[in-house]
Structure 1
Amino acid sequence: MKRRISLPRHSFDPSRRRFNASMAALGLASISLPMGIRPAMAQQTNLSVMTYTNYHVEGLIPGYIAKYGSLPDASFMSDDEDALQKLRGGFTTDTAHPNTSSVGRWRDAGLIKPIDTSRLPNWENLFDVVKNLKGVSEGDETFICPTGWGNASIIYRTDLVDPEDVEDPSWALLSNPKYRGRVAASTVLEDLVLPAALQLDVDNIFAMTDEEIAEVKQLLKRQHENLRNYWSSITDMEQGLASGALVAAVGWNTSVNSLKKQGIPVAYMQPKEGMLTWLDGVVHTTQGNASDEEVYDYMNAWIAPEAGQHLIEEIGYGHSNKNSFDLVSSQRLVELGLDDPIGNLNKGVFYEEIEGRIREKYSRMIEEVKAGF
């Protein structure tokens, strides 16, 4: 997932991203965006990156812009799977921006190479939980430079949901009959199945047994009867919350950011069962043409505190560099629910890859729920 509308979870891509892939969907998958005038002494840029449209801005790589004078050439990905298939098909790029939950597939396919973290001065200031997260490294080798993180949770109208119904915050709010026809779920498989599994305290939500899937199905059937809809357009979901047609909906950090900018009284739930959390980053592909120096300059720029400040303030996601949060006002962090980043990261339920056979079972179960079986 990205991203927003924010481009963004593969295996998983909080498919936050799929809804921000309008550029790619329109056939604008590979364009160069030379924004700004190159300084007279700037070095020549040969770098090509694969990323999300709202990630391809100067504010997220200020150190790179200072050295090279302009943004690198970019192609845009709609999600991790889209990028993976492009690379398998021979598409050439120096870097890409997947989630940690899918890095294993990229590595096993021989599409990315290990990262020498000693060439990243900002690496030492990344949160330890980020550097040590599953998917970042394999053995002694690091395969992704973590950049941003965010969540999937329930966004709710504080003026329309009774305070007593969120005193003990839970994903079960979506099934509360008091709000029948006024709550919405996402069409993203992970953001639909995993919250239900968390409510049932399933041992491994990413690889459930047939019996556990059956239990989740029953919970989702009850939830289905309570929903107004399953949203596939982030704009429609936000408009529903803004108008009051919806009192609560599953959503991502960027929607909280957007709605609060409009003055809509919303809050972002931290469910007692756990808040779904993703982590993305830059990988160094095996198929690029740029020098290692330029690739590492790009990575290091992404994980600079100033880049994190932009990601937090303008997009609403958390950043991997702990020093970024010192550059953002405490009021802004509270508004975005990012005032305790270490607590958020430690309590987060990070997405992991769902094996294809299991994913198919989850998908089939969802279709049966929607069809009333």
Structure 2
Amino acid sequence: MTHRFLLGTATALAFALPAFAQDDDLLVFDYSGFEDPSFHQPYIDQHGESPTFVFFGDEDEAFQRLVSGFRSDVTHICAGSVPRWQASGIIEAWDTGRIPAFGDLDGSLLGEDVMAGTAELFFLPTDYGSTAVTYNTDEVTAEQVASLQVFTDPAFAGRLSIPDNVDDAYALAYLATGVSDWSDVSDAEFEAATDWLRAIHENLRTYWTDPGELGQLMGSGEVLVAWAWNEVPVALADEGFPVGFERNTTEGTSVWLCGYVNMADGPGSEDKAYDYVNALLDIASAQPLIEGGFGSANTVALNSLGAETLEANGLGEVTVPVLAQLPISNEQRQRQAEAFERIKAGF
């Protein structure tokens, strides 16, 4: 999965270089943008400087560099990548006893086994967001987007868009076909979701690749309805665009999540690795994160922002099922990826 903080060409050019060499005892491998000091100010307060950051363009690239010998202390990935990273042996479990906010983390972002203490914590969620129906309120009514079946509506043929991202696409398709937990889908449920994605393919104007592109498509009127991350309607509204973000669609809504993995044999300080992730989960980091388009995985920190702020940023309460994009097996993700590529190719 491509992370939600997308900075285009700058990210691609900067992936191999530190943003600035600071604390040599901690190397954070990350997406460009997350070096923002306000995201980890408690770490700076404690140690007098930020960690050293090295950037990558996407998680496949990051994985290949790490298995080829590059070493970091912590790495920022999204949930879909976790099974492959864990199976490779390049990450080790976090000690939950060293994470003060662990008991306050959103259980829906962790999985029941971890919360129950029956599984080790290999993935520490720190930031998340929602994916839901975004629409042009001048051209589309609230009633027309009350259901995810809007993507099958021939009245909007050629004016629809979904992400060019297998996780987001299948989250939509599972919800649309009655599944709100993708952790253990049957063959029949997978086939139903795949058939649904294939059915909407001809209705789509395009598969969007980053929020800026989708913002332009909606701003120009080419796209009227999209399956989009919460940062998109916020940005459009800031520009005065007539936009709605419908999370309470009949079938449900989705949340994506990202966080940090603890690298095995990291070259730096293990203590500072914990200091860094604890800083991200600190209540002081919640406001800067949401201003960047991300919700804190720490429910206490997140709720400190107030219901109005959360609603304005697309992270308010919902009354419908929520599909959390938790890690799934390599086999399931590969099956979905292969089917999605065939669908996009017209098969």
TM-score clears 0.5: yes
Residue 349 (structure 1) aligned with residue 331 (structure 2): no
> What is the 5 A alignment of 1:83-232?
83-133=62-112, 139-166=118-145, 169-201=146-178, 205=182, 214-232=191-209
Q: Structure 2 length normalisation: TM-score?
A: 0.86
1:209 CA displacement: 6.0
Deviation at 1:372, TM superposition (A): 4.0
Change (3 A) 1:213 1:106: closer
Q: Show the 5 A alignment for 1:38-117.
A: 45-117=24-96
Q: In percent, how many aligned pairs have the same letter?
A: 29
- Whole-Å Cα distance in 2 between the matches of residues 210 and 292 of structure 1? 42
1:241 to 204, 218, 224: 218
The superposition leaves residues 90-125 of structure 1 with CA deviations (integer Å, 9 ceiling, x where unpaired) of 111110112234333323322222222322333343
Distance of 1:325 and 1:352 partners within structure 2: 19
**Cα-to-partner distance string for 1:298-324 (whole Å, 9 max, x where unaligned):** 111010011112111x12222112232
| Whole-angstrom distance in 2 between the partners of 1:321 and 1:74 | 23
Tell me which amino acid in the other structure corresponds to 2:259.
G
Q: Could you tell me which residue of structure 2 aligns to residue 307 of structure 1?
A: 285
Q: Which runs of 5+ in 1 are unaligned?
A: 8-18, 36-43
CA pair 326-366 structure 1, distance change in 2 beyond 3 A: closer
TM-score when normalising by structure 1 = 0.81
- 8 Å CA contact 1:2–1:52 kept in 2: the answer is no
**CA distance, structure 1, for counterparts of residue 85 and residue 310 of structure 2:** 34
Q: Does structure 2 conserve the Cα–Cα contact (< 8 Å) formed by 1:104 and 1:135? A: no
Structure 2: gaps (5+ residues): none
| Conservation of the 8 A alpha-carbon contact between 1:259 and 1:266 | yes
How many residues are treated as equivalent by the alignment? 346
Once residues 244 and 238 of structure 1 are traced to their aligned partners in structure 2, the CA distance between those partners, rounded to angstroms, is: 10
The answer to whether the 8 Å contact 1:48/1:73 transfers is yes
Amino acid at match of 1:189: V
Amino acid at match of 1:125: D
What SS does the corresponding residue of 1:54 show, helix, strand or coil?
A: coil
- Is 1:126–1:322's contact at 8 Å kept on the other side of the alignment? yes
Among candidates 302, 323, 342, match of residue 325 of structure 1:
302
Task: Tell me the equivalent position of 1:269.
Answer: 246
The corresponding residue for 1:280 is: 258
Alpha-carbon distance in 1 for matches of 2:211, 2:168: 14
